[in-house]
């Protein structure tokens, strides 16, 4: 379509304001929460009060007797519709309502359906369940050897080849044991000048999307229509169709805007339950969680990471052993993917000859853990970048210098054997060092206010192999609609995808209509996760646009235009059909190349379609009297290729960093024998406007993803990576104490100061 002279290109790379901004600020944007259907019933979940036990009885009679209650349903009742109502992306281990056993406090055991949500809630309080309590296990390391077994038999879903060997396994809590072996790590330790070994712990936290999870299912002819706040409409459709034994086309999944997702709304969550209930009562059923119920639904993995390094006296890391234990909670969700996909990056963005990684996904009797912005990377970086500083300090090396000596550079092999390309690890490190003014003298504070600074760098591989499909429809007046199943959950994917299409078609971004996920209309997309959309869907949209453009060009030639001559599409349609009529449909489908890791060694020559690089620098202040910490400056830098939309990139960087900032300084799900003790925002602190650092900088490092659409790649998580260790490193810099457990609370800093003082007193 050669009408660039009519409508200039330059759509990509422009800070186009979000297309949906006006709708959102004027309160007109549609959310599933606001959706009401005629005849709709409200569901309220009754939850387990014990961490592990066999269900002996569930008495629903009092609840059923409440006026306005339509029906009370238990797990066994669901079997009338679906004999084996177990779902999950990696394992078919999670029942829509507990069957036989409960595996964590807060697990759904029964559900009340009522005309009114308050009646449903009131009635749910009247349900009484009795259990035979079983021994429970809560800690991920204990789960390795515990006699308390969360699942009697492992039930991998069959989708992932590396889980097949687990089929039917008994008496284990290990849902995946991933390993990588490169070189000879034992020899490296034996011949090393220095060996360092440390253990780090990350805590369980919650995504806290401000729109809590919500799903609504309605019978629809001989099919089912599901409205849901989901990040993965295509997966929901496939999984519901599997459960019901239906073809995909009888299940229709619609997703409007999301009020945040962060990984909480991935794969399948409430959808299986509302789908079965709707078929059971033949009415629409809506389940809206409260903020507090989300704590029991999906969380971020707690993690223990033991890291050991062989280091030469010059400060080169020659060998590294990583043992990572992921606390997956009671259901696997996507935990085994976290274990593998993040696991292979556990040694960090460093050039290390000899590497050994063991990464374990573990079942415990805690609420399930899944994907959360970073997909396991922040837990790993927390360990390896704290470890980096501890080594550097011990060797008397500057932390930046130590990293310079060890980072993976262009063309060098990563631990998997994949050669590094388009990965500006150095660029990110140098940008942070420059913005921190690292080589200049630093004000260390006075009196009981001490100042310090710290940095961290990290990388992440994109999840692979995954597919995206896009459909572009050009109408007879020349305007374009884009049908994709990418979910705009606040990250502005609508805008970015419209920019790509506009660039290809020579239209204005603002004139493109992006059709929201509706599986009857929008084609397959693996999911909106792992910062994959820009790259994968971006390519699919580009291909669909090019496909449409080719057809227009061909149409022009067939109508007598000289090849390459300028035309306006609307003239082509008019000429062809004699009036404003017809369509051109362009289709694009994209899946990158990938080599899956060899089972025993974990090696692969093509482990990821692209690398995301992120780094953080902070300046902090500690009040040694109370341990109170203030972050004065937060610098984020990332390699995201060429930015499609610099302004949106900036908000992704600051947003990601601040989210991890909360996980670093305050957020912590606290448990007492499996019982969450701070499951409300009155106790569980998330960052607010008053908490954010006075200075935040976001830097897009000079880079280009040669394989990306318009040189771009993902950016939604990159600024989460380094925040925790950068702050811990800064604390050490300020007051000389090293914290190895998150979060970094004033009391933990204070206690470490006390311990250091009494240690010094003894010496």
Partner 1 sequence: MYDFQYLRPATVDEASRVLATQPDARPMSGGMSLLPATKQRLSHWSAIVDLGGVAGLDEIRMEHGALVIGARARHVSVLSSSVVRAAIPALAELAEGIGDPLVRNRGTIGGSVANADPAADYPAALLGLGATVVTNHREIAADDLFTGLFETALEAGEIITAVRFPVPKRAAYAKYRHPASRYAVVGAFVAETAEGVRVAVTGAASHVFRVPAFETALSKSLSQDALVGVTPAYGDLNADLFASSEYRAHVIGEMVRRAVQACLHPSTPSRNA
- Interacting residue ranges for partner 1, rule: CB under 8 A: 118, 122, 623, 625-626, 628, 666, 670, 677-678, 681-686, 691, 745, 747, 750-751
C-alpha separations of 8 from 11, 16, 450, 748 in Å: 8, 15, 55, 57
> Which residues on adjacent β-strands are paired with residue 482?
472, 514
Kindly state the tokens that stand for 593: 């190349």
Closest CA to 157 of 365, 370, 334, 298: 334
Q: Residues with Cβ < 8 Å from 598, sequence gap 6 or more? A: 604
CB-nearer residue toward partner 1: 679 or 714: 679
How many Cβ atoms from other residues are within 10 Å of residue 553's Cβ? 18
Closest distance to partner 1 from the beta carbon of 46 (Å):
16
DSSP string computed for 348-374:
-SB--SEEEEEEEEE--SSS-EE--TT
Closest CA to 534 of 338, 718, 370, 661: 718
Q: Residues with Cβ < 8 Å from 437, sequence gap 6 or more? A: none
Classify strands 41-47 and 108-114 as parallel, antiparallel or unpaired.
antiparallel
CB-nearer residue toward partner 1: 518 or 691: 691
Closest distance to partner 1 from the beta carbon of 680 (Å):
9
CB-nearer residue toward partner 1: 289 or 676: 676
Closest distance to partner 1 from the beta carbon of 552 (Å):
56
> Which one is catalytic: 239, 424, 619, 717?
717
Could you tell me if 586 and 546 are in contact, meaning their C-beta atoms sit under 8 angstroms apart?
yes
Kindly state the tokens that stand for 577: 């059909």
Could you tell me if 200 and 740 are in contact, meaning their C-beta atoms sit under 8 angstroms apart?
yes
Classify strands 251-254 and 194-202 as parallel, antiparallel or unpaired.
unpaired
CB-nearer residue toward partner 1: 310 or 634: 634
Kindly state the tokens that stand for 486: 């990418």
CB-nearer residue toward partner 1: 447 or 563: 447
Closest distance to partner 1 from the beta carbon of 316 (Å):
42
- The torsion angles phi and psi of 481, rounded to 5 degrees, stand at -115, 145
End-to-end Cα, the chain, rounded Å: 79
717 is annotated as an active-site residue: yes
Closest distance to partner 1 from the beta carbon of 743 (Å):
11
CB-nearer residue toward partner 1: 122 or 546: 122
How many Cβ atoms from other residues are within 10 Å of residue 677's Cβ? 11
- The torsion angles phi and psi of 744, rounded to 5 degrees, stand at -95, 80
Q: Residues with Cβ < 8 Å from 699, sequence gap 6 or more? A: 431, 435, 635, 636, 637, 638, 653
CB-nearer residue toward partner 1: 210 or 682: 682
CB-nearer residue toward partner 1: 440 or 682: 682
DSSP string computed for 496-532:
HHHHHHHHHHT--GGGPEEEPPBTTTS--B--S-TT-
Closest distance to partner 1 from the beta carbon of 125 (Å):
9
Distance of alpha carbon 85 from alpha carbon 93, whole angstroms: 9
How many Cβ atoms from other residues are within 10 Å of residue 168's Cβ? 9
- The torsion angles phi and psi of 572, rounded to 5 degrees, stand at -65, -50
CB-nearer residue toward partner 1: 326 or 671: 671
Distance of alpha carbon 59 from alpha carbon 533, whole angstroms: 46
CB-nearer residue toward partner 1: 439 or 625: 625
CB-nearer residue toward partner 1: 598 or 681: 681
CB-nearer residue toward partner 1: 76 or 623: 623
Kindly state the tokens that stand for 708: 């990306």
Q: Residues with Cβ < 8 Å from 727, sequence gap 6 or more? A: 454, 618, 620, 629, 631, 664, 665, 744
Could you tell me if 326 and 332 are in contact, meaning their C-beta atoms sit under 8 angstroms apart?
no
Closest distance to partner 1 from the beta carbon of 115 (Å):
14
Could you tell me if 287 and 43 are in contact, meaning their C-beta atoms sit under 8 angstroms apart?
yes
CA-based R_g, the chain, Å: 27
CB-nearer residue toward partner 1: 70 or 92: 70
b/e 45-84 (16+ beta carbons within 10 angstroms → b):
bbbbebbbbebeebebeebeebeebbbbbbbebbeebbee
DSSP string computed for 382-440:
HHHHHHHHHHHHHTT--HHHHHHHHB--TTPBPTTSPBP-S--HHHHHHHHHHHTTTTS
Q: Which residues are catalytic?
A: 717
């Amino acid at each position: 379509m050669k009408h660039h002279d009519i409508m200039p290109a330059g759509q990509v790379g422009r800070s186009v304001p979000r297309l949906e901004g006006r709708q959102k600020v004027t309160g007109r944007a549609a959310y599933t929460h606001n959706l009401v259907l005629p005849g709709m019933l409200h569901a309220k979940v009754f939850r387990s009060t014990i961490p592990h036990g066999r269900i002996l009885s569930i008495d629903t009679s009092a609840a059923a007797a409440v006026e306005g209650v339509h029906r009370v349903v238990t797990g066994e009742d669901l079997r009338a519709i679906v004999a084996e109502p177990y779902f999950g992306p990696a394992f078919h281990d999670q029942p829509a309502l507990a069957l036989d056993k409960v595996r964590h406090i807060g697990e759904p055991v029964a559900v009340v359906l009522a005309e009114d949500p308050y009646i449903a809630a009131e009635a749910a309080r009247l349900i009484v369940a009795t259990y035979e309590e079983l021994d429970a296990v809560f800690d991920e390391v204990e789960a390795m050897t515990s006699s308390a077994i969360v699942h009697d038999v492992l039930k991998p879903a069959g989708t992932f080849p590396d889980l097949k060997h687990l089929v039917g396994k008994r008496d284990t809590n290990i849902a995946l044991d991933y390993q990588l072996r490169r070189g000879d790590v034992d020899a490296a330790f034996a011949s090393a000048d220095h060996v360092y070994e440390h253990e780090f712990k990350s805590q369980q936290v919650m995504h806290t999307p401000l729109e809590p999870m919500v799903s609504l299912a309605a019978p629809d002819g001989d099919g089912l229509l599901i409205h849901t706040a989901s990040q993965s409409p295509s997966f929901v459709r496939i999984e519901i169709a599997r459960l019901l034994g239906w073809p995909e086309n009888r299940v229709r999944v619609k997703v409007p805007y999301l009020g945040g997702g962060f990984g909480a709304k991935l794969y399948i969550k409430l959808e299986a339950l509302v789908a079965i209930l709707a078929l059971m009562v033949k009415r629409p059923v809506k389940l809206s969680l409260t903020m507090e119920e989300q704590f029991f639904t999906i969380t971020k993995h707690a993690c223990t990471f033991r890291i050991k390094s062989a280091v030469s006296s010059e400060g080169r890391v020659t060998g590294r052993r990583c043992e990572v234990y992921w606390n997956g909670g009671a259901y696997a969700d996507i935990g085994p993917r976290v274990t593998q996909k993040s696991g292979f990056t556990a040694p960090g963005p460093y050039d290390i000859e000899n590497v050994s990684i063991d990464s374990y996904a573990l079942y415990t009797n805690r609420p399930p853990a899944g994907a959360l912005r970073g997909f396991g990377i922040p837990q790993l970086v927390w360990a390896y970048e704290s470890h980096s500083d501890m080594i550097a300090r011990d060797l008397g090396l500057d932390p930046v210098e130590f990293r310079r000596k060890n980072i993976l550079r262009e063309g060098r092999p990563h631990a998997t054997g994949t050669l590094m390309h388009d990965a500006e690890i150095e660029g990110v490190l140098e940008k942070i060092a420059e913005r921190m003014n690292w080589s200049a003298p630093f004000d260390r504070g006075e009196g009981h206010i001490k100042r310090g600074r710290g940095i961290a760098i990290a990388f992440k591989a994109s999840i692979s192999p995954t597919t995206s499909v896009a459909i572009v429809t050009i109408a007879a007046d020349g305007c374009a609609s884009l049908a994709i199943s990418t979910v705009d959950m606040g990250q502005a994917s609508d805008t970015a995808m419209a920019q790509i299409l506009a660039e290809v078609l020579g239209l204005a971004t603002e004139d493109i209509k992006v059709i929201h996920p509706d599986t009857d209309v929008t084609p397959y997309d693996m999911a909106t996760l792992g910062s994959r959309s820009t790259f994968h869907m971006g390519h699919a949209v580009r291909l669909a646009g090019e496909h449409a453009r080719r057809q227009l060009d061909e149409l022009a030639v067939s109508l007598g235009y000289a090849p390459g001559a300028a035309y306006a599409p609307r003239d082509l349609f008019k000429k062809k059909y004699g009036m404003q009529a017809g369509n051109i449909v362009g289709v694009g489908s994209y899946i990158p190349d990938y080599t899956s890791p060899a089972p025993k060694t974990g090696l692969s020559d093509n482990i990821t379609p692209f690398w995301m690089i992120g780094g953080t620098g902070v300046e902090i202040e500690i009040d040694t009297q109370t341990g109170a910490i203030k972050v004065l400056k937060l610098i984020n830098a990332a390699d995201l290729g060429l930015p499609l939309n610099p302004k949106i990139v900036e908000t992704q960087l600051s947003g990601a960093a601040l989210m991890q900032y909360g996980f670093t300084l305050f957020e912590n799900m606290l448990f007492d024998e499996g019982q969450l003790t701070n499951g409300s925002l009155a106790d569980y602190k998330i960052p607010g406007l008053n908490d954010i650092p006075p200075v935040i900088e976001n830097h897009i490092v000079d880079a280009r993803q040669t394989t990306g659409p318009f040189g771009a790649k993902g950016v939604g998580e990159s600024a989460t990576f380094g925040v925790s260790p950068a702050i811990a490193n800064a604390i050490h810099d300020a007051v000389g104490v090293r914290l190895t457990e998150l979060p970094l609370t004033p009391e933990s800093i204070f206690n470490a100061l006390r311990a250091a003082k009494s240690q010094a007193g003894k010496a």
